[in-house]
Chains A and B, each alone.
Chain A
């Protein structure tokens, strides 16, 4: 079993492959399992390390309450890298964690060689992701079923029913208080002032049918980045391209990483 202590608390990670590291951070309500179709591919090139954020999967909480701010998640990721002895890495994050990885790159440029931001954006505050306080308060009454029904309808039309069932099943395992805290973090993010500070290459991934982090939001994030970047637009998929259509995702993202000289 692979655990490391961060802030004195047990943090779980999965590791596969050797060489330069690629640290993978799951999205809201999820855990390392969300990278199960990607680690076997990327571990042919990198030392892949998928981490469970505090309170998710097999990781314990590192604070008294679940983290509710993207900034805190970003500091956790930086501390996790330190605890793992990783001085510099490529970060891959999905949705909420796409922004978390961008934030680590902005705040700790020496630690980040590149970022792959999967269906994430630098601005997901209430206006852009269709959340307001009333809807968040409503979701807090039953975050598990709210997340599950959201996730089911966030998949694209080409995604098999079986894969959608897997995505829905996986999110039901997240503790409700953690899930709603993720949602609060996600829906309060505005890191636009930080985007210009990012110097490392960034791959931005957008799913055609993602109505939560819309392709337009991803494109806007790309326009505000001053660093080398490449947008990977994936047709037929929704908010979970790495799980919905992993073969296409892996090949397209790998190619984009090559274009940005992020291959070992």
Chain B
């Protein structure tokens, strides 16, 4: 499993309550897909608020892909940068959009670490 639903809910709540992340993402709208094989978790940013993304066929702007073990490491505390550099998580789709907003993505995943505590 990519992420447990309880943990996802906690992450969404933490991200939406985090003032720094809200400020970072204030003007950003994006559909982000976390992928592991056939499993996907879609997230959307709109006006600084993180929510569950559309589950339809809308193409995700940003795809972060890794196997379940890699995701377990990321949600367990491995930084997104290190996961990418160690080729555990790949950045696909609109890579330019991902990189232009990298600090926001990084902050988002830092909150994912806290979500499990």
Interface residues of A (CB under 8 A from B): 129-132, 135, 138-139, 141-142, 145-146, 148-150, 152-153, 211
Q: How many A-B residue pairs have CB under 8 A?
A: 43
- Knowing A130-B87, A135-B85, the reply to whether A145 touches B103 (Cβ < 8 A) is yes
Interface residues of B (CB under 8 A from A): 79-82, 84-87, 91, 95-96, 99-100, 102-103, 106
- Knowing A141-B96, A141-B99, A141-B100, the reply to whether A149 touches B80 (Cβ < 8 A) is yes
Query: Is the pair B85, A131 in contact by a Cβ cutoff of 8 Å?
Result: yes
Which residues on B sit within 8 Å (CB–CB) of A131?
Answer: 85
Bound CA–CA A145/B102 (angstroms): 6
Bound CA–CA A211/B86 (angstroms): 10
Query: Is the pair B81, A141 in contact by a Cβ cutoff of 8 Å?
Result: no
- Knowing A130-B86, A145-B106, the reply to whether A138 touches B95 (Cβ < 8 A) is yes
Bound CA–CA A232/B96 (angstroms): 40
**Chain B contact residues: helix, strand, loop or mixed:** helix
Which residues on A sit within 8 Å (CB–CB) of B99?
Answer: 138-139, 141-142, 145-146
Instruction: Look across to chain B and name the residue whose beta carbon is closest to the beta carbon of A172.
Output: B103
Which residues on A sit within 8 Å (CB–CB) of B80?
Answer: 149
Which residues on A sit within 8 Å (CB–CB) of B85?
Answer: 129-131, 135, 150
Query: Is the pair A149, B100 in contact by a Cβ cutoff of 8 Å?
Result: no
Smallest CB-CB A-B distances: 3 pairs: A153-B79, A141-B99, A130-B85
Instruction: Look across to chain A and name the residue whose beta carbon is closest to the beta carbon of B95.
Output: A138
Q: How far is the CB of B95 from chain A (nearest CB, A)?
A: 6
Instruction: Look across to chain B and name the residue whose beta carbon is closest to the beta carbon of A149.
Output: B106
Query: Is the pair B96, A153 in contact by a Cβ cutoff of 8 Å?
Result: no
Q: How far is the CB of B83 from chain A (nearest CB, A)?
A: 10
Query: Is the pair A148, B79 in contact by a Cβ cutoff of 8 Å?
Result: no
Instruction: Look across to chain B and name the residue whose beta carbon is closest to the beta carbon of A146.
Output: B102
Which residues on A sit within 8 Å (CB–CB) of B96?
Answer: 141
Which residues on B sit within 8 Å (CB–CB) of A146?
Answer: 81, 99, 102
Bound CA–CA A129/B100 (angstroms): 23
Query: Is the pair A153, B81 in contact by a Cβ cutoff of 8 Å?
Result: yes
Which residues on B sit within 8 Å (CB–CB) of A148?
Answer: 103
22 contacts between A and B (CB under 8 A): A129-B85, A130-B82, A130-B86, A138-B84, A138-B95, A138-B99, A139-B99, A141-B95, A141-B96, A141-B99, A146-B81, A146-B99, A146-B102, A149-B81, A149-B102, A149-B103, A149-B106, A150-B81, A152-B79, A153-B79, A153-B81, A211-B82
